[in-house]
Amino acid sequence: MIREFKGKKPLISKNAIVDETALLIGNIIVEEHASIWPGVILRADEEEIVVKRNACVLDKAFVEAPKKVIIGEGSIISHGAIIHGSEIGENVLVGIGAIVLEVRVGKNSIIAAGAVVTKDVEERSFMAGVPARKVRNAEDSEIKRIKEIASQLWNKAKWLR
């Protein structure tokens, strides 16, 4: 469902895929080859949400924009994750059920499943825990795998149409 809020309506690229059960409200831009999966809620009733090219927001994730939200190119927001007023860099994996609260996450980073991120994350970080802390640097093989998964998800998302 696509809903206008105070004159702002989501703008969705004709080359993006948004599942019919997703709910997009307000000032949202979904760029080409981005995919929004079943049960996702994107609510931009205060500031803007931008889902960049090749990004994937997976089932039942919730994104709210009390501050501008950017989901970076090629990033994956996993099932049930919550993004609140944050900027996610490119090629970032936010794990299942992770919560990211009003921070910046540097590109090529991994947020472990269930982590709660309350401080900015530098590039190439692997973050885990509650509250999340840097466990180590993200490895080249992991960054490569994020890109592969994002590509696989795009191919799978075509079935959502």
- Provide the mean pLDDT of the chain: 97
| Residue range of the domain that includes 39 | 2-160
pLDDT in tens, 15-60: 999 999 999 999 999 999 999 999 999 999 999 999 999 999 999 9
SS3 37: coil
For residue 159, give the DSSP letter: G
Looking at the structure of the chain, the number of domains it has is: 1
pTM of the model: 0.96
User: Sign of the CA dihedral 115, 120, 126, 132?
Assistant: negative
Question: pLDDT in tens for each of the 161 residues of the chain?
Answer: 898 899 999 999 999 999 999 999 999 999 999 999 999 999 999 999 999 999 999 999 999 999 999 999 999 999 999 999 999 999 999 999 999 999 999 999 999 999 999 999 999 999 999 999 999 999 999 999 999 999 999 999 988 77
CA distances from 48 to 33, 71, 121 (A): 19, 11, 21
Find the CATH number of the domain harbouring 113. Answer: 2.160.10.10
